[in-house]
Amino acid sequence: MHSFAYKNGFLYCEDVNLADIAAQVGTPVFVYSKKTITDDLREFREALSPLKAHVAYAVKACSNKAILNLMARQGAGFDIVSGGELWRVINAGGDSTQCTYAGVAKTEPEIRYALEQNIYCFNCESENELREINRIAGEMGVKAPVAVRVNPNVDAHTHKYITTGTNENKFGVDISRIEDVYAMIAAELPHLHIKGLQMHIGSQLTDKQPFAAAVEKVLPIVKKFITLYGIEFWSIGGGIGIVYDGCLESGKPEWWAAHPEQITIQSYAAELIPRLQPLGIRILVEPGRRLVGNAAAMLTTCIYEKKGEAKTFKMIDAGMNDIIRPALYEGYHEIWPVREHQNDEILADIVGPICESGDFQAQNRRIADVQPGEVLAEMSAGAYGFSMASTYNSRPLAAEVLVDGDKWSVIRRRQTLEQIVEDECLPE
Ligand code: LLP
């Protein structure tokens, strides 16, 4: 459940009128609800409490220092994919020993840094990566904790760019070879300590079934590895989907009652606990989107309207550089006026200022007939929103704000043009 709703004719985040934030900080600005994030993290913990479970927040979804600090203070671990993300976690007050490190192309400096910081485990994706970590750990005189990411070849039924668990993908080691790879580690790589097994089949899964299928498929292997190598954890990855279409309504309990098919933290847990509990080992989950996705909206201002022959366009001051999801994954985000409208919906495309036809946030959308100067809220913008932003077209990165009850703080100042170019220089 999230914390965005209309009150007294305006859209609020918790007890803050979004119009006030837009007026004071300008747009575009990402606005996060502290309550949504902390509630959802608690819900994960409680739902998985019959297991020895630990939540490792997938930093890539949203890596703002204040968000990472909030996660750390609530006791989350972190799933990272680069030396940069590890640095961010530490810089935000997070504990490096609670970090699992995934990714298919970890470099030597990144591996050294992670070993120096004593991370919980490397989630490795190939034999060559294992050999490289073994070599570096040997040079450093340490034993590197490793798990291998098994690719269970289960279709997650999600967008093709965010499916990761089939043998068409670059991720992990095929399930048919995973036992040989563990045997190879044990026999040939003395500077590695086999600590666990990892998998992750994709992102934005709205159905429980692929999760259950992957767990079923990998379960016998985990049992074997407990006996053979004494593994202490199994990470079952992230991927729980959120509500994008119906987002505003999903802030109300009635919506959930009417949509029993939608995955919830509870139903995910209920599906998996009976299968995982008998193992007795530590279970890691790596949610990103589910913890922050519905927790934020991006505020943007309508700049112009253009009525073309075929379409009406509402031009806004946010582009694909601010939220790339519609352009990259055909992502759907609801767009609501911050000042509530009644019965004036039109059909329009909501497009940004970038010089690309792919620069839209919504196409053929029924939307309130907002006028230039009005502020819109693009919903479900917390995950893979700001974290995927760029300065394309020399557009400064947006500001970020964290709401807590009736208070709010800027957690990232809007970037300046000077900051965009500060590392550029003329040739000697
Ligand atoms: N663990 C691993 C190993 C991952 O690769 C990912 C996401 C996660 C956990 C977290 O998945 P989540 O719980 O957030 O679904 N930019 C795309 C999503 C890319 C996901 C990449 N990996 C989007 O905007 O839809």
CA of 103 to the centre of ligand 1 (A): 11
Supply the pLDDT for residue 349: 98
Of 396, 387, 386, the closest CA to residue 421 belongs to: 396
Token pair belonging to 273: 């606990």
Nearest ligand 1 atom to alpha carbon 293: 14
| Closest-lying ligand 1 atom to the alpha carbon of residue 102 | 3
In angstroms, the Cα distances linking 373 to 292, 301, 303, 319, 360 are 28, 6, 6, 16, 19
Residue in the block written with tokens 């490793």: 146
Domains of the chain: 4-29+294-421 (2.40.37.10), 34-291 (3.20.20.10)
CA nearest ligand 1 atom 20, residue: 203
Q: Residue whose CA is closest, atom 19 of ligand 1?
A: 162
In angstroms, the CA 303 to CA 375 distance is: 9
Q: Indicate which residue's Cα is closest to atom 6 of ligand 1.
A: 238
Any residues with Cβ below 6 Å from ligand 1, and which? 58, 61, 79, 102, 162, 200, 203-204, 237-240, 286-290, 325, 329, 383-384
Residue 387 carries which DSSP code?
A: G
* Residues 325 and 359 sit within 8 Å (Cβ to Cβ): no
Ligand 1 atom 22, closest CA: 203
Q: Of all protein residues, whose CA lies closest to atom 8 belonging to ligand 1?
A: 238
Q: Identify whether 302 is a catalytic site residue.
A: no
pLDDT at 158: 73
Q: Which atom of ligand 1 is nearest to the CA of 388?
A: 16
| Alpha-carbon span 130 to 192, nearest angstrom | 8
Q: How many angstroms is it from 86 CA to the middle of ligand 1?
A: 17
Query: How far does the centroid of ligand 1 lie from the alpha carbon of residue 237, in Å?
Result: 9
Note the pLDDT of residue 171: 87
Tell me the CA–centroid distance for residue 238 and ligand 1, in Å. Answer: 7
Distance from residue 61's CA to the centre of ligand 1 (Å)? 7
Contact predicate 194/186, CB 8 Å: yes
DSSP 203-249: S-B--SHHHHHHHHHHHHHHHHHHHHH---EEE----B----TTTTG
For the CA of 61, the closest atom of ligand 1 is 14
Give SS3 for 361. strand
Atom 7 of ligand 1: nearest residue by CA position: 203
Find out whether the peptide bond into 28 is cis, omega within 30 degrees of 0.
Answer: yes
Atom index in ligand 1 nearest the CA of residue 204 equals: 15
pTM above 0.85, yes or no: yes
Pocket-testing residue among 158, 286, 290, 324, ligand 1, by greatest number of atoms within 8 A of Cβ: 286
3-state secondary structure at position 270:
helix
> Which residue has its alpha carbon closest to ligand 1 atom 23?
384
Taking the centre of ligand 1 as the mean of its atom positions, its distance from the CA of residue 383, in whole angstroms, is: 9
CA of 164 to the centre of ligand 1 (A): 9
Q: What angle, rounded to 10 degrees, do the helices at 65-73 and 34-47 form? A: 40
Cβ atoms of residues 29 and 20 within 8 Å: no
- Catalytic residue from among 62, 99, 355, 425: 355
Q: 194 CA distance to ligand 1 centroid (A)? A: 24
Nearest ligand 1 atom to alpha carbon 324: 24
pLDDT per residue of the chain (428 residues) written in tens, 0 to 9: 899 999 999 999 999 999 999 999 999 999 999 999 999 999 999 999 999 999 999 999 999 999 999 999 999 999 999 999 999 999 999 999 999 999 999 999 999 999 999 999 999 999 999 999 999 999 999 999 999 999 999 988 777 776 676 677 788 999 999 999 999 999 999 999 999 999 999 999 999 999 999 999 999 999 999 999 999 999 999 999 999 999 999 999 999 999 999 999 999 999 999 999 999 999 999 999 999 999 999 999 999 999 989 999 999 999 999 999 999 999 999 999 999 999 999 999 999 999 999 999 999 999 999 999 999 999 999 999 999 999 999 999 999 999 999 999 999 999 999 999 999 999 99
